[in-house]
Amino acid sequence: MSQLERLHRINGLIQDRNVVSFGDLMHELEVSRATLKRDLQFLRERLNAPLIFDREAGGYRYDKPMRGPRFELPGMWFSSEEVLALLTMHQMLESLDSGGLLGRHIKPLIARLTSVLDRADGSAKEVLKRVKLIAVQRRRVDLRHFELIGAALVKRRRLIIDYYGRARDRRTEREVSPLRLVNHRGNWYLDAWCHMSEAIRMFALDSIREAKLLEERAKEVSLKAVDDELGGGYGIYRGKHLQWATLLFSPEAAKWVRSEIWHEQQRARDLDGRYELTIPYSDPAELELEILRHGENVQVLAPASLKNRIARRLALAALLYDESGTRQDRLAA
What is the per-residue pLDDT across 48-80, written as a single tens digit (0 to 9) for each?
A: 889 999 999 999 999 876 555 667 776 555 555
Contacts of 248 (CB under 8 A, 6+ apart): 271, 274, 275, 276, 277, 298, 299, 300, 301
Rounded to two decimals, the pTM is 0.55
Backbone angles phi, psi at 219, to 5 degrees: -70, 130
Comparing C-alpha atoms, which of 277, 279, 280 is closest to residue 239? 280
CB atoms within 10 A of CB 313: 15
Span 234-251, pLDDT tens digits: 555 666 667 899 999 999
Statement: residue 313 has pLDDT above 80? yes
Question: 86-90, 137-141, 149-153, 283-287: which has the highest mean pLDDT?
Answer: 149-153
275 and 258 Cβ atoms separated by less than 8 Å: yes
Half-sphere exposure of 151 (CA within 13 A, CB side): 12
Q: In what order do the strands lie in the sheet with 187-194?
A: 199-204, 187-194, 170-184, 157-165, 208-217
The mean of the pLDDT values for the chain is: 81
Give the pLDDT of residue 231.
Answer: 64
The whole-number pLDDT of residue 64 equals 78
- State the pLDDT at residue 122: 52
Q: Residue 226 in 3-state DSSP?
A: helix
141: pLDDT strictly greater than 90 = no
Q: What is the pLDDT of residue 268?
A: 96
Model confidence at 159: pLDDT above 90: yes
pLDDT of 333: 45
303 CB-near residues (< 8 Å, 6+ apart): 243, 244, 245
Region of poorest pLDDT, from 118-132, 212-226, 275-289, 308-322: 118-132
Backbone angles phi, psi at 313, to 5 degrees: -60, -45
Angle between helices 3-17 and 22-29 (to 10 degrees): 130
Q: Quick one: pLDDT band at residue 100, thresholds 50, 70, 90?
A: low
Please say whether the beta carbons of 158 and 166 come within 8 A. Answer: no
Side by side, which strands form the sheet with 243-249? 267-271, 274-281, 243-249, 298-302
Pick from 108, 111, 113: nearest CA to 88: 113
Does the structure show a pLDDT above 80 at 101?
no
- Residues 274-292 have a mean pLDDT of 88
